[in-house]
Amino acid sequence: MISIPHLEAALAAIDAEIKAILYNQSLSLSEKDEKMLPLLRENKVLKQAHEDICYLRDNPPSSPIGCKAGSYREE
C-alpha cells in the first residue's frame, strides 16, 4: 500500500515538530500548549489511520463481493 510510507513520513515530521517545540526554551508553557495541541490532534488521527490501514493490509475483507452499501442506495 502506497499510503503507509506517506503516513509514516507525516508521523515522523509531526514528531520532529513536537520535539522542536518541547526543546524550545524561549517559549512559555502556555505557548507550547497552544502550538502543540493541533499537532497532537493531527498525530492522533494519523496514528489511527496508520493502524487501520495496516490492519486492512494484514486482514483484507473476506467478502468477495465487496462493500454492500451501494446496493441499498436509491438513485
**Residue pLDDT, tens place only, 17-71:** 999 999 999 999 999 999 999 999 999 999 999 999 999 889 887 766 666 666 6
- Give the closest residue to 21 by CA, choosing from 48, 46, 39, 44: 39
C-alpha cell at 62: 473476506
- Give the closest residue to 46 by CA, choosing from 1, 74, 12: 12
Q: What is the pTM of this model?
A: 0.75
Write down the pLDDT at residue 61.
76
Q: Which burial class, exposed, middle or buried, applies to 28 when counting CB atoms under 10 A from its CB (0-12, 13-18, 19+)?
A: exposed
Q: Over 80: is that where the pLDDT of 15 sits?
A: yes
Whether residue 46 contacts residue 10, with contact meaning beta carbons closer than 8 Å, is answered with yes
